[in-house]
Structure 1
């Protein structure tokens, strides 16, 4: 550094005729070499004479082209012959491998410190390894690179007063050219119109200081430019650093713009797909609930057609047969369909809640509540008719019959109470995951009571066989008992299936994992879990979007892009590690992630940790991002999120046009689907090909919105306080009734 300082101090005159161009180049090239060496953590040098052993030149060459694999012959040369052998290898490599035109310089010139020849060699290296984009068919020799760099400078500075670039000498002496380039790329840092063109020294100093703040090494000093004719090669070396800096900045900005447009398009396509899925569920639900309501009402009418005042034995047997026909035919279908519709309604409600849409409210008999009430009425009618027929046949049953009926009635009541518990569950996952296991425990106790009922039934069958009671009435009683036992078992099984379906549907949102990496590896080995239907559908869309060429797998770059879209705050190093873990644990030949593994990863990210479980009662605001264990943010796709997407694409207008959607390159079929979802808006600017759609009305969720039509009315969803369950506590009366039923086990003297 002492020698470099002495060189700098020796150059103080503003008169180029006095200032030696070799001194300027020596200082400039020395700074350039040290800049490159420091980038790769090589030691600095104090003088160009330090190049004499060849080691620094080899290090510099690897800095200029990191793909080169070349080493000196001697790592620590001390003798002149060793240094010359190193330098000979270096020069031969440049001539033979790099095809550089190097003349009039040999290894002895460098060892002896021939400064002018050394400067010429460094100049050839600088210009050869300076990457300048070609915008035409120009050749890539040294002259053309200088011309390309000058052309780039002229293009950037065109339109700036006082700047006329004709060369790399006198055109740069007033500092205005550098200030114009800085103003073009960083207008917030430099206001060109506020400069004083006559104050050349201040202009040069301002440009150099601002460049240094942006990370551009200071190869030149103010006095090197503030002269009648600056050194051409020194100016080119310095301006090339500006080119490298601002060219990479431009490329980065263009990539970010493209990335933003792609993100907007994917968000819009996801929104359309989600709304279409909800509408499909809704239409299926409305059609099936209408058919079920008709079946239940017809069955009620048939069972009510019994005149109990004028009934005789024949009518009793006929009524009993009607009951048997109903129990063996329609009843199980009604139960199956009702529970399937209840599950479908629960899915719709969960999807609406997850996206912060207002939930549907049904009105009338052809609703889940109306059909449920009709089924309860049918159960009561069946029960009353059964009791009437039974009492008519025999005023008093044997002790075994009484015992069977008592146990069956209590078991049936227990099933009904548990059914009520399941039916009253709120559409809030945290509450369901807490209370559903408790209901399963009650069912297990109830199953013990059913085992007791089977014992009693076996005793009844034995009783009928011993006494040869083969009358038609007795046979009907036995059939009734069989149906009763099957019905209770079937209801218990059905409730279990409903509970398991509910748990399975929400388990991906409430599952726990210790750490992402540990859970990821464990899941890929032996865990068989699932995402929710909605999550799976959305992530499949995202997988297909990033699967370029429809390969059915994501390569490493596509995998990184997909995960960064869902988890924007993840680091690329983390995603790369996940990719390698998946590949190591798979048997794939291709280096890629298939859909199944991709969904498993997302399920792991969706699992809360122990701290999140303690905070499970806190409400997640609409449109927010959920933080994962490593700090990454999971995109929460709610209605507010999509509303902001529309605002961003439409530049804040209350409507969105076909032209807006074309800017994000949304496919024509997706635009057509969006037109079926949103109401068309009549605007002044509208033409035949540029339709406008009012998205604000959709997100206001009024009754005219397509998502609420065909039987659904919009209601304001109940706002629960953070941390409180949407489901009321199980009532004391219900618990006491259930305890009384389950307590039947203690009262019975029959062992299980």
Structure 2
């Protein structure tokens, strides 16, 4: 008997594959756009004379843009060969300088090499920029904040209420409500939340992006079209939300920061990188701008738990001493 269902099964499998590739291409397009905007925004705030990135895969080849980003984020001075050189050996030398600096900072660059960057391979270039954002911006901001947190601040941070119920960094942000609430969390009254309607997705997103740029000086890395899609790109959203954390680390909910860091770690692991850790990544010294030597950052929750356990054990010990003394005297 002829199996008439077999061709239909093949067609369905083909449709699934096409949909997957289309989704992957769309996410890659959004990441290229987001990272291009992030690079330009980062460089423009510190180096007004730096050239702008228009084509990420092409402009990053000579390594100069890459070195400029690292100098801006780390306040370091790195050696560059001829700016905008078209000679491949000089381009490779610039990229090699950047990658070696990142390795000295404790970053593991799995499957990332100079020739792939110079050749402009999208997956490799995007993976490298993503790691730079995680380690040198988001990670460094959070680790500095944790180092400043003293014992009195711990209780305040843990009991601080939050109005941001971000279950993820994809679909939860699609309708724009969380972006608007985040802005109001930082600057109360900047947005009238009663006017935010779940059905007005594009309007909510556009309103949030414009007000964040105008009122909070947060660069608009995304457009409504980038977020209002079937599966919003988490990498791009984390990059954008990271700008709020970088500029307003004390105003952003501690729960949101923890969720963002946890999700960023998982996304980093999926790219073969297991080095994104508060203990293992070398933070910057604020005075010199260079990596701190043997700096260890212990999560403040662990410190709080240790203090509580220590006090409990101490109280129990005192209780037994008093109890035994009472029994002997009686």
Q: TM-score range by the shorter chain?
A: 0.5 to 0.7
Give the Cα separation in 2 of the matches to 1:19 and 1:174: 22
Match of 1:64 among 73, 81, 85: 73
Task: Answer yes or no: is 1:28 the counterpart of 2:34.
Answer: yes
Deviation per CA, 1:594-625, whole angstroms, max 9, x where unpaired?
xxxxxxxxxxxxxxxxxxxxxxxxxxxxxxxx
Using the TM superposition, give the Cα deviation of residue 73 of structure 1 relative to its aligned residue in structure 2, in angstroms. 3.8
Aligned to 1:523: none
Task: Answer yes or no: is 1:175 the counterpart of 2:176.
Answer: yes
Q: Which SS does the other structure have where 2:106 is aligned?
A: coil
Aligned to 2:201: 200
Aligned to 1:45: 53
Using the TM superposition, give the Cα deviation of residue 219 of structure 1 relative to its aligned residue in structure 2, in angstroms. 0.3
Checking the alignment, whether the CA contact within 8 Å between 1:170 and 1:230 is kept in structure 2 is yes
Question: Cα gap change, 1:45/1:225 in structure 2, threshold over 3 Å: closer, same or farther?
Answer: same
Deviation per CA, 1:438-490, whole angstroms, max 9, x where unpaired?
xxxxxxxxxxxxxxxxxxxxxxxxxxxxxxxxxxxxxxxxxxxxxxxxxxxxx
Deviation per CA, 1:163-218, whole angstroms, max 9, x where unpaired?
53111111111111111111222222212133222222211111111011122111
Match of 2:131 among 124, 139, 156: 124
Using the TM superposition, give the Cα deviation of residue 75 of structure 1 relative to its aligned residue in structure 2, in angstroms. 4.2
Give the Cα separation in 1 of the matches to 2:183 and 2:83: 43
Aligned to 1:92: 100
Checking the alignment, whether the CA contact within 8 Å between 1:201 and 1:222 is kept in structure 2 is yes
Give the Cα separation in 2 of the matches to 1:164 and 1:246: 19
Aligned to 2:220: 218
Give the Cα separation in 2 of the matches to 1:246 and 1:55: 30
Checking the alignment, whether the CA contact within 8 Å between 1:169 and 1:232 is kept in structure 2 is yes
Larger RCO of the pair (alpha carbons < 8 Å, separation 6+) = 2
Q: Which SS does the other structure have where 2:23 is aligned?
A: coil
Using the TM superposition, give the Cα deviation of residue 248 of structure 1 relative to its aligned residue in structure 2, in angstroms. 6.7
Deviation per CA, 1:214-270, whole angstroms, max 9, x where unpaired?
2211100001111232111100110011122333779xxxxxxxxxxxxxxxxxxxx
Instruction: Mark the structure with the bigger radius of gyration.
Output: 1
Question: Cα gap change, 1:29/1:164 in structure 2, threshold over 3 Å: closer, same or farther?
Answer: same
Give the Cα separation in 2 of the matches to 1:201 and 1:20: 18
Question: Cα gap change, 1:86/1:207 in structure 2, threshold over 3 Å: closer, same or farther?
Answer: same
Give the Cα separation in 1 of the matches to 2:86 and 2:186: 49
Give the Cα separation in 2 of the matches to 1:75 and 1:208: 34
Q: Which SS does the other structure have where 1:233 is aligned?
A: helix
Task: Answer yes or no: is 1:166 the counterpart of 2:175.
Answer: no
Alignment length (residue pairs)? 213
Aligned to 1:133: 142
Any residues of structure 2 matched to 1:263-412 within 5 Å, and which? none
Any residues of structure 2 matched to 1:201-600 within 5 Å, and which? 201-214=202-215, 215-247=217-249
List alignment gaps of at least 5 residues for structure 1.
1-15, 138-151, 251-752
Using the TM superposition, give the Cα deviation of residue 53 of structure 1 relative to its aligned residue in structure 2, in angstroms. 0.8
Using the TM superposition, give the Cα deviation of residue 129 of structure 1 relative to its aligned residue in structure 2, in angstroms. 1.2
Question: Cα gap change, 1:76/1:223 in structure 2, threshold over 3 Å: closer, same or farther?
Answer: closer
Q: Which SS does the other structure have where 1:132 is aligned?
A: helix
Checking the alignment, whether the CA contact within 8 Å between 1:87 and 1:107 is kept in structure 2 is yes
TM-score norm. by structure 1 comes to 0.27
Give the Cα separation in 1 of the matches to 2:168 and 2:121: 28
Give the Cα separation in 2 of the matches to 1:94 and 1:22: 24
- Indicate the RMSD between aligned Cα atoms, in angstroms: 2.4
Using the TM superposition, give the Cα deviation of residue 46 of structure 1 relative to its aligned residue in structure 2, in angstroms. 1.1
Question: Cα gap change, 1:85/1:110 in structure 2, threshold over 3 Å: closer, same or farther?
Answer: same
Deviation per CA, 1:57-99, whole angstroms, max 9, x where unpaired?
1111111111x1211244453311121122122212211x211
Aligned to 2:270: none
Give the Cα separation in 2 of the matches to 1:175 and 1:191: 13
Question: Cα gap change, 1:17/1:78 in structure 2, threshold over 3 Å: closer, same or farther?
Answer: closer
Give the Cα separation in 2 of the matches to 1:178 and 1:76: 38
Give the Cα separation in 2 of the matches to 1:76 and 1:183: 42
Q: Which SS does the other structure have where 2:30 is aligned?
A: helix
Deviation per CA, 1:25-63, whole angstroms, max 9, x where unpaired?
000000101111212121112111111111111111111
Give the Cα separation in 2 of the matches to 1:27 and 1:203: 21
Checking the alignment, whether the CA contact within 8 Å between 1:219 and 1:238 is kept in structure 2 is yes
Give the Cα separation in 2 of the matches to 1:178 and 1:34: 22
Question: Cα gap change, 1:76/1:168 in structure 2, threshold over 3 Å: closer, same or farther?
Answer: closer
Question: Cα gap change, 1:241/1:76 in structure 2, threshold over 3 Å: closer, same or farther?
Answer: closer
Deviation per CA, 1:330-358, whole angstroms, max 9, x where unpaired?
xxxxxxxxxxxxxxxxxxxxxxxxxxxxx
Checking the alignment, whether the CA contact within 8 Å between 1:74 and 1:86 is kept in structure 2 is no
Give the Cα separation in 1 of the matches to 2:71 and 2:146: 29
Question: Cα gap change, 1:132/1:75 in structure 2, threshold over 3 Å: closer, same or farther?
Answer: closer
List alignment gaps of at least 5 residues for structure 2.
1-21, 148-156, 253-330
TM-score norm. by structure 2 comes to 0.59
